[in-house]
Structures are given as structure tokens and as C-alpha cells.
Structure 1
């Protein structure tokens, strides 16, 4: 499908770098946008709304005089346990954030507020039911968070999830799950998505806020090390087994469902907030992460791989005709 006007002719690659809790920061967002892909961050990566607003100002100022830069996005948690939703949304409206990514709740009032100043709303979904509710709320795009994705991930195959979304949704579709290489970006488009939504690969970049230990674990982890559990946040999410074990999540604790409370995550003195600093998320594509380049180097590599994959596809079609 055609991209929204805001994104047309603004992207070097059809990629959004996903917002990652305690990982995405202004440096990562700015580097992504300057490299020609959408950079994003969760509003809750700042512990107060004032700090969130300061980050928006920093990003906006850095990109102001770069006409070639891609738009940026902010992730808002719409769950009722997030005490900052109203205040953070007001800041997004005031600053006219180009793209708002909503999670854990598709609310028409939020969508209308963003549409009021001309912004876009993309919403995370893991099932058809979630997708249908978000479509009814009027979102501009659906992020199909398929099996194998990092963070709060679903369990549906990308083939099933994208296919069912496309039965009723003709706007922008983004696909998340195990995307590390340029040919996988093309594969996402062939499958029916418009944009690739990449997280794990961007954790292991020089600009990300992930610790050295976190990045080093990514370099040695493989798909078999990824555990999908609701024990950490109350929502099923993917984490590296090594970090779970180091944080004391034994088999019994992994079977329990944690409490979903985003207010607690804003309190650094609480055990839950500490857990998010030491329990590290990654998707099943982690086995394809083998280095920690700068964002510019990574995007250039992805671009070359994507173009090579497109050329190979053209040659394949030519040989069949």
C-alpha cells in the first residue's frame, strides 16, 4: 500500500527502529533519522514528563536543519496503569510529534488527539482481534508483532498475522520479528507489509543506551536462548535466558505472570524497575547480530543488502519468464 504522505520520499529504507525500554535514547533516534529510517523511543524512558519533553526538544532541534532526515516517533503506553499517559500525550500534541506508536490499548481519543495536529498513529498488535479494535479506533498503521520478536511479542506466525490483517486493513502495515538483514526487509514487503520494524539489531549499535554487558550478551546469544514469558512485566515478552537466570528468574518464577503496572516502572527504587535494568530483551533473530556498528554503518549495510536482494529477485523473475 502507498505510505502516508508524511513518509513518502522521506525514507532511505522502509524501516522503523522500534522503541525499546531503557535502550532507545535521543542519540539513537537522531542517528536513525539522519540515516534515513524512522527512529523512535518510549516516553517512559524518561522518568518524568518534563524529561520526556526535553528529549523531544533535543531531537527536534538536532533534526531541524536536516531536510533529508526521516521523521521520528514516540511510543506511548495506553494501559490504564500508566499514570503519565495524559500528560505525555499533551506534550506530544504540543510538540506535534510526527508519529505516535501506541501499545497496550487502542483508544480513539488518543488517535483523535494526534490526528488533530496532523500526526500519525501506529499501533502494536499481536492478534487479529487486537488489530480489528485498533482499526476501529482509526489508527494509520498496524504493527504486526509476530512470533520471535523482541520485547512484548506475540506468538502468531508472520504469515498468518499479516495475511489476516490484510483481509480488512488497507492502510500501513509494519512487520516485527527476527529482522536483521536487508533481504529480510524485502521479505517483509513481499509478505504484505509496507515497513520493517526492527528492534534487536539496533540494540547492538554504538548509539544505543544498552550497557556494554547487554550488547556483549546479544553477540553470543542464539535463538534457543530466547524465553517468552509474562513473568517480568505481566505481558508476554521475549528475554535472553542468560539475563533471566542472572536476575533470579528460575523455572518456577518464569511460569508465574508478573503484575502489569507501568507506574511501578517509573520508580527506580522498586524491584520491578531494577529488574528491567538487568533482564534484557531480544528477539529470536539475535543469532544474526554479530557486531556493534554505528547506526550509519548499519543502515548503509542494510541498504546495500536490500538493494542486492531486490536485484536478485528481479533476476529470478527474469529467469522464470
Structure 2
């Protein structure tokens, strides 16, 4: 049995968190996701300003907070879901300390941490009443994250977009659940309501959905990127460490368009990863586009709310099938 979920992860329309996508997720997408009933999120590093300009992260959090508050006052019968901010906990992120202070001041309800588990980041989340969820790709990292004070885990399994892990979701969830009964999310090709229900059946509390939201009207992605998501499927995803130093999943057509052979990519050392001002490989994410293996379920570019409607309908259909199956088995 798992423990009850924290309040920030309950009362959602669907058991789902929209993953924070580098360069893609911004206030428009987050607000649409939250209003439609799932947790919306964005990486703090997406909020960028020129030297001397007002701090963009401050402006984004002000807008998101105020618009969701206004929505809740106008729609008390269907309040918005809470939002999350992703912090890249990597030594090259020179903004981390500043961004932690800003997020604490705005009382961000859900903090998602990636590429490093540090107690002081979890403490910053707790200082304002928030919860901290940490990305992990294996059981070893999962234990370290909980030992350092994370409240929950995001199991990033094979098939996920961006910096994905290599393990089967079934293996990863089983190993984590053998010792951890707290909040557990699953990432990896969750693009349909059936996949979302399967994540719960495997032992996760919620699904973590990213790539389908690239092909939404609110996503901060070029039109070509959105159309490439629509036109591609699982066979069009390639895994490589070349672009950031850490293994990630990318769209083959975007790699070919950049003049590289997607079937003959070199590897890169993790030390080449850089989230500072002078990124070592500026083409990563901006020209070499990330995506997960679940994009075959994406058939068109639509509003985020319409995508969530589609997943909600599929989830209900899948749940009804499982209830009918359970009843039939009980009657055997």
C-alpha cells in the first residue's frame, strides 16, 4: 500500500503531470494545462532575460499565479490544478541559487529537480510549503534522492523524451516500489489514456506527459517542430549522448536536417554538459529536437485543453475496459 498523496497531487482531473520541456514550456502552456485539470510545469531556465532587464522568472511566476487565482475565483466548481517549476541541479547552472529564492518567494507548490539531488534545493521547496519531486533513471539514484530529502520520484524510463533512462518502466517501477511507498510518477511514452492507466497499474501514482504537448498551439515550439511530431512515430526516435553529454531521445529528421547521420552519431562525455550562458552545443534542443517514443499517438496540432480532453476520454474508456475485464474474471 502506498501512502496518501500530498495535497498538491490530489483532486486533479487526470492523474498526470505535464513534464517541463526545455525551450518549449512557458506560461501559455502551463496555464492551459492547469486550467484543463493537470499539473502544468516549466523549467526555470526557460525564463530568460537580457542583462539589465527585469527578471523573467519573476514575471512568469506572477502571471501564472495571478491568472490561475483569477480562474479559481471564476470557476470554483472546477479549480485549476497547481503548477510546478523544474530546477536543473547541475554545477553549470549558475542561476540556481537565485531561482530557488524566487520560487520560494512565489510559493511554488511543486518543485521538480533534475540532474542532481541536493538537500538545500529540497529545503527551499519545503520552506514555502512546496513538495520536491526528483527525476531518476534507476533505483540507485532513486534511493539517493529520497535520502537527500525529496518527497517523491519521477521514474524516467525507456521511451521518454529528452534525457531518458534506458530501463523498462515495469522493471524500474517494481524496483522503486519494493522500498518506496511515497509519490511516484512514471515517464516514458505516455501519450494516451490507456498508457496513463497502465502506469498506475504498474505501480505509479501519476503519469508524466511531455512530447504530445509539443504539438499544441500554446507550446513555444517552431511550427516545423510541431508538424514533425505529428508526422513521426517511435521509429523516428534516436537515442544519443552527442548533443548534451547525457543520453537523450531526439527526432531523426531534425538530426538529418542539421547535416548529421542519425544512424552514425558519436558519443559525448557527461563532462560536456553545460547549462550556463555558454552552452557547449547550442544546436541541442533548439535545432536538434527532442521527443519520446509515444508521438505516434499525436495526429494533429491542437490546443492543450483539447489534447487533455482526448487523453481523459481514452483514460475513462480504458478504465471501463479494465472494470469489465475484472468483472468477467471474477465470474469465471
TM-score interval for Structure 1 and Structure 2 normalised by the shorter chain: over 0.9
Map 1:184-263 to 2 at 5 A: 184-250=195-261, 254-257=265-268, 259-263=272-276
Q: CA deviation at 1:219?
A: 1.2
Choose from 105, 115, 118 the match for 2:116.
105
Corresponding residue to 1:180 among 185, 191, 196? 191
- Judge conservation of contact 2:159–2:292 (CA < 8 Å) in 1: yes
Partner residue in 2 for 1:164? 175
- State the Cα distance separating 1:251 from its structure 2 match: 5.8
d(CA) in 2 for partners of 1:27, 1:252:
36
Q: How far did 1:44 drift?
A: 0.8
Q: Matched residue of 1:81: which SS?
A: coil
Superposed CA deviations along residues 175-215 of structure 1, whole A, max 9, x for unmatched, are: 00111111111110000000000001111111111110001
RMSD over aligned Cα atoms: 1.5
Question: Given that residues 247 and 275 in structure 1 are in contact (C-alpha distance below 8 angstroms), is that contact kept between their aligned partners in structure 2?
Answer: no
User: How far has the Cα of 1:112 moved from its partner?
Assistant: 1.1
Alpha-carbon distance between aligned partners in 1 of 2:8 and 2:294, rounded to the nearest angstrom: 30
Query: Residue by residue, what CA displacement relative to the aligned partner does 1:99-156 show, whole Å, maximum 9, x if unpaired?
Result: 1100001111110111111101011000111101001012111000000100100000
Question: Which residue, out of 290, 296, 311, partners 1:302?
Answer: 311
Q: Name the CA distance, whole Å, in 1 between partners of 2:290 and 2:263.
A: 20
- The answer to whether structure 1 residue 293 and structure 2 residue 302 are counterparts is yes
Match of 1:15 in 2: 16
Match of 1:314 in 2: 323
SS in 1 for 2:71: coil
Residue of structure 1 equivalent to 2:7? 5
State the alpha-carbon separation in 2 of the partners of residues 301 and 225 from structure 1: 23
User: For structure 1, which runs of at least 5 residues remain unmatched after alignment?
Assistant: none
Give, in angstroms, the shift of residue 302 of structure 1.
Answer: 1.2
**Following TM superposition, by how much is the alpha carbon of 1:301 offset from its aligned partner in structure 2, in angstroms?**
1.5
| Moved beyond 4 Å, runs of 4+ | none
Partner Cα separation in structure 2 for residue 155 and residue 26 of structure 1: 31
The TM-score with structure 1 as length reference comes to: 0.95
Q: Secondary structure of the residue that 1:228 maps to in structure 2?
A: strand
| Alignment: residue pair count | 316
- For the residue of structure 2 that corresponds to 1:135, the secondary structure is helix
Runs of 5+ in structure 2 lacking a partner?
73-78
Contact 2:133/2:153 (8 A) holds in 1? yes
**What residue in structure 1 maps to residue 128 of structure 2?**
117
Distance 1:251 1:271 in 2: 20
| Cα distance, 1:247 vs structure 2 | 1.7
Provide the C-alpha distance between the structure 2 equivalents of 1:207 and 1:199, rounded to a whole number of angstroms: 13
Q: Tell me the SS of whatever aligns to 1:276.
A: coil
Shift of 1:252: 8.9
- Tell me the distance in 1 between the aligned counterparts of 2:184 and 2:218: 27
User: Under a length normalisation based on structure 2, what TM-score does the superposition of the two structures give?
Assistant: 0.92
**Alignment partner, residue 76 of structure 2:** none
